[in-house]
Amino acid sequence: MIEDKEFPCRVALVTGAAGGIGSAIARALAARGTVVAVVDRDAARLAALTDELAEDGLKAAAFPADVSDADQVERAVDRIEVELGPVDLLVNAAGVLRPGSAVTMTDADWRAVFAVNLDGVFHCCRAVAARMKERGEGAIVTIASNAGRVPRLQMAAYGASKAAASSYTKSLGLELAQHGIRCNVVSPGSTDTPMLHALWSDPSDRQLTIEGSSAAYKTGIPLRRIAEPADIADAVLFLASARARHITMQDLCVDGGAVLGA
């Protein structure tokens, strides 16, 4: 565990913590002495994560909840603040991807994507920010996507939900700035997680992701590598730290240059 005087976060709430990016963020925070409340609807994977962190001497506690359910979120935040203490940092990392045509996607798939990627961000921010305002401090980081900046084939719902989550987080940051609360966004590109692997159907797809595809109107990755979850976690750590104390309402794109700075 690293003692970092410039990292003031004592208690963090990380949603989507059973996923690749969420679990990496939880580990990175815990490694800096933060007590991490890990939230996800997959209770079994949350339990495995907390066990792994405990074996490494890191502090984390599982609070299973579905972020698309406002009541579950409120109950979880209440428990976290009673059992662990005031939440200094909220990281909205829960996300789902259901590829589909913008024309033929079903209502059910559209709503499922927005329920987690946008409604979940709203529910968690509302619950945590109300408590942060009373204390006059805190930080919120939402994990969006570079797909929210540029169009992607078969990703209309995902991109739209992430763009909306980014916009909401920035508007929230404007409202909360007077209370000393910073709200920022991290937008990953292709990251080595199960979500990305689920989009691949051939061993060559990894290299195609790096090279890009003119048929899919998709540029490659100029830095010639797919991000690791730790790369996203490092961006979150920076935005949560005292080094970023004068940064709010920003969207940091961590995609190796894939959207060419868009």
- The pLDDT tens digits of the residues spanning 21-52 come to 999 999 999 999 999 999 999 999 999 999 99
Highest mean pLDDT: which of 1-10, 115-124, 190-199, 211-220?
115-124
How many structural domains are present in the chain?
Answer: 1
- The answer to whether residue 5 is domain-embedded is no
Residue whose C-alpha is closest to residue 84's, from 10, 29, 3: 10
Structure tokens at 233: 């976690």
Strand bridging mode 11-15 / 89-92: parallel
- The answer to whether residue 259 is domain-embedded is no
Q: How confident is the model at residue 202 (pLDDT cuts 50, 70, 90)?
A: confident
Place of tokens 């994560």: 49
Say yes or no to pLDDT of 4 above 90.
no
Phi, psi of 111 (to 5 degrees): -70, -35
- The answer to whether residue 79 is domain-embedded is yes
> What mean pLDDT do residues 120-140 have?
97
- The answer to whether residue 200 is domain-embedded is no
- The answer to whether residue 183 is domain-embedded is yes
Q: What is the mean pLDDT of the chain?
A: 94
Place of tokens 């084939």: 153
Cα–Cα dist 86/225, whole Å = 38
**Domain around 83:** 11-191+230-252
Say yes or no to pLDDT of 197 above 90.
no
Say yes or no to pLDDT of 236 above 90.
yes
Q: Which of 7, 63, 122, 158 is catalytic?
A: 158
Instruction: Examine the residue annotation and report whether 168 is marked as an active-site residue of this protein.
Output: no
The pLDDT, as a whole number, for residue 192 is 85
- The answer to whether residue 47 is domain-embedded is yes
Cα–Cα dist 244/233, whole Å = 15
- The answer to whether residue 2 is domain-embedded is no
- CATH number at 94 reads 3.40.50.720
- The answer to whether residue 145 is domain-embedded is yes
The pLDDT, as a whole number, for residue 6 is 67
Q: Which distant-in-sequence residues (6+ apart) come within 8 Å of 38 by Cβ? A: 14, 17, 18, 22, 23, 26, 46, 49, 50, 60, 61, 62, 63
The pLDDT, as a whole number, for residue 9 is 85
Amino acid at 198: A
Structure tokens at 34: 């933060």
User: Above pLDDT 70, what percent of the chain?
Assistant: 98
Q: Where are the beta strands (DSSP E) in 75-137?
A: 89-92
Say yes or no to pLDDT of 3 above 60.
no
